[in-house]
Structure 1
Amino acid sequence: MYQPHVFTLTADGYRGPAPSWPAGAPSVWLVDTEQVAGTVRSLAPRILDVSELARVEKLAFRADRDCYTAAHVALRLLLGVRQGVAPDAVRLTRERCPSCDGPHGRPATGGGVHFSLSHTRGVALLAFADVPVGVDVERVPEPRVVTEIAGQLHPAEAAELAALPQEERPAAFARVWTRKEAYLKGEGTGLAGGLNREHVGTGPRPLGPPGWTVTDVAVPAGYAAAVAVETAGRALAEGHDRRK
């Protein structure tokens, strides 16, 4: 289980360390989006770009606006510290999609930093690395959601879920969903890559697709999360990550 860094804000911004990582390993940061909501609302107009601010305005619910704002303000603050630039000067782009070559692949920025961002009401996760990385956090779903979507998973994963007692299925489904989405985001295809392509498992220990290491991330009760990092067959350096 990977123990993330906790992102904290002062009244006028971030004053903590820059993300750092050994080769081939991720640096993962947890944001309590409700706790920092008031501060990021005041910071956002000075930090987010026009497209990000427009996206905030399109969200119907305040909780969703606060969550998106907190995640993107934290991303720009951490990247800015890492790159030695003001957060509003961080240049965010998209790589080409490996499936269709469209302009909607992995998010990217200058300076040799790979990153990934995920948020759901109350929590955001950010991951940084020197190699492609993906991260995902989700709320544990209701049982009906598991029933509706389980058939779209890899056949082995669907069978694993079906073999569990019904009360254990939501947590197991959340594990496999976040592992799979973290991997697909790291790969650059997202859910368009297909939920049934790779077997990452529903059990306590994830399985990594070839060339990737997938690790569960410790998050508050009621959520599940995972990070995936491209390792090209290398295991994460022992003693240099924050897994517990």
Structure 2
Amino acid sequence: MYQPHEFTLTEDGYRGPAPSWRPGAPSIWLVDTDRTSDAARSLAPGILDASELARLEKLVFQPDRDCYTAAHVALRLLLGAHQGVAPDAVRLTRERCPSCDGPHGRPATGGGVHFSLSHTRGIALLAFADVPVGVDVEQVPEARVVEEITGQLHPAEAAELAALPQEERPTAFARVWTRKEAYLKGEGVGLAGGLNREHVGTGPRPLDPPGWTVADVAVPAGYAAAVAVGTAGRPPAAGHDRRK
């Protein structure tokens, strides 16, 4: 399990270290979007680009606006610190989708950095690496949501959930959902890639799809998170923060 760095933001901006990583291993950052919302809101007009500001304006509920703002301000500040440029100078683009060749594949930027961002109310996660990477964080769902969506998972995962006591299913479902979405985001296809495509498991340790390493990420109670890192052509990363 990965232990993320905690992102700290003040009204004057970010003064922490730039993201750094070992080959094949991600650098993961946790953003408390509630705690950083005021500072992020004041910094956003001078940091976010026109498309990000337009997306922000379309969000109806203030908690969602605060979460989006904090996550994207943190992303630009961390990328800028790594690249040695101002956060508003970071150029964000999209790769081509590997499934349909549309302009909605993995997010990308210059400088050989792969990154991924995920947020839900209260928390954002950001992952940076020298290889394709995907990250996802979700709130543990209600039991009714688990019942509604379980059938979309890989048949083996649905069977694993069905074998659990009912009170354990939401946590196990959140584990498999974040693992699967992190992997699909890393591939650049997102949920369109199909939740039943690969068996990543609902148990304490994830199963790795071919060419990828999947690991859980430590997040506060009530949430689940995972990261997926491309390993094609290289051995899985090792280190003290890999899996515990």
TM bracket, shorter-chain basis = over 0.9
Deviates more, 1:5-14 or 1:117-126: 5-14
Q: Say yes or no: does 1:171 pair with 2:171.
A: yes
1:94 match: 94
One-letter amino acid matched to 2:8: T
Q: Say yes or no: does 1:215 pair with 2:207.
A: no
One-letter amino acid matched to 2:132: P
For 1:92 and 1:2, the matched residues in 2 are separated by 26
SS of 2:232's equivalent in the other structure is coil
For 2:215 and 2:104, the matched residues in 1 are separated by 25
1:104 is displaced (CA, Å) by: 0.3
Q: Say yes or no: does 1:114 pair with 2:97.
A: no
Q: TM-score if structure 2 supplies the norm length?
A: 0.98
SS of 1:22's equivalent in the other structure is coil
One-letter amino acid matched to 2:89: A
1:57 is displaced (CA, Å) by: 1.2
SS of 2:78's equivalent in the other structure is helix
1:243 is displaced (CA, Å) by: 3.9
For 1:243 and 1:46, the matched residues in 2 are separated by 38
**Pairing 1:190-209 to 2, within 5 Å after superposition:** 190-209=190-209
The unaligned stretches of length 5 or more in structure 1 are none
1:9 is displaced (CA, Å) by: 1.0
SS of 2:65's equivalent in the other structure is helix
Contact 1:212 1:233 survives alignment (8 Å): no
Residues 111 and 225 of structure 1, relative CA distance in 2, 3 Å threshold: same
Contact 1:22 1:240 survives alignment (8 Å): no
1:238 is displaced (CA, Å) by: 2.4
**Pairing 1:13-92 to 2, within 5 Å after superposition:** 13-92=13-92
1:124 is displaced (CA, Å) by: 0.1
For 1:36 and 1:242, the matched residues in 2 are separated by 27
For 1:27 and 1:127, the matched residues in 2 are separated by 6
1:197 is displaced (CA, Å) by: 0.4
2:156 match: 156
The unaligned stretches of length 5 or more in structure 2 are none
1:138 match: 138
Contact 2:48 2:73 survives alignment (8 Å): yes
1:181 match: 181
Contact 1:157 1:199 survives alignment (8 Å): yes
**Deviation digits for residues 89-143 of structure 1 (CA, Å, limit 9, x no counterpart):** 0000000000000000000001100000000000000000000000000000000
